[in-house]
Amino acid sequence: MEKRNLTIFITGASSGIGRETAIRLAKEGHKVFAGIRRKIDKEEIENLNENIQGVYIDVTNAASIEKAFWFVMKNAKSLDVLINNAGIAVGGPVELIDVKKLKEQFDVNTFGAVAVVQKFMPLLHNSRIINISSMAASGVFPFVAPYCASKRALDILFNSFALENKDNIKVISIKPSSVKTPIWNKSVKKAREYFTNISEEAKNKYEKQLLSIEKKALENNENAIETYFVVDKIIKVINCKNPKPSYNVGNQAVVAEWLSRLPLSISNRLIIKFLNSSK
As a whole number of angstroms, the distance between CA 154 and CA 172 comes to 11
Percent of the chain whose pLDDT exceeds 70: 84
Question: Hey, is 37 helix, strand or coil?
Answer: coil
Least confident of 53-67, 143-157, 164-178, 188-202: 188-202
pLDDT interval class at 93 (50, 70, 90): confident
User: What is the C-alpha separation between 19 and 264, in angstroms, rounded?
Assistant: 37
Helix 200-223, helix 264-277: angle, nearest 10:
90
The C-alpha atoms of residue 184 and residue 193 are separated, in whole angstroms, by 14
* Model pTM score: 0.90
The per-residue pLDDT of the chain, averaged, comes to 89
- What average pLDDT does this structure show over 61-84? 97
The CATH class, in words, for 7-181+223-257 is alpha beta
Do the Cβ atoms of 52 and 19 come closer than 8 Å?
A: no
pLDDT bracket for residue 2 (50, 70, 90): low
- Cα separation, 133 vs 155, in Å, equals 7
